[in-house]
Amino acid sequence: MKDKFIVYERPTCSKCREMTKLLKEAGVDFDKVNYYVEPLSPKEIAELLKKMDMPARSLLRTSESIYKELGLAKAQLSDKELIDLMSKHPDLMQRPIVVRGDRAVLGRPTENVQALLQ
């Protein structure tokens, strides 16, 4: 596997820990980025969304209190506006996100990463 894997995560997240275990068992060399410690810029989030071929709204964690506080369920916001909010409030982003080269998947469920392992 020539492209390095990068996992964007929160270490306390159970799905993120599952992803770490899955990749280690598969013998994959990867780096982890705790985006709570190293916040992602709007540009980085936009690039991840492009690699996942996903609109910004699909990356939102709708069960988070900040999602409810900001009234995002009813808000008519552009992708750019949602990306800016995710950059300011990392709790809004689903995780883990796994990148390999120019492709990425949301690792929820963890089996989604199989597409990158081939």
Instruction: Look up residue 91 and give its two tokens.
Output: 């709790």
> Cα–Cα distance between 4 and 29 in angstroms, integer?
7
CB 40 within 8 A of CB 90: yes
Catalytic residue among 1, 6, 13, 77: 13
Active site residue 16: no
Instruction: Look up residue 26 and give its two tokens.
Output: 């598969």
Instruction: Look up residue 90 and give its two tokens.
Output: 């990392």
**Residues with catalytic function:** 13
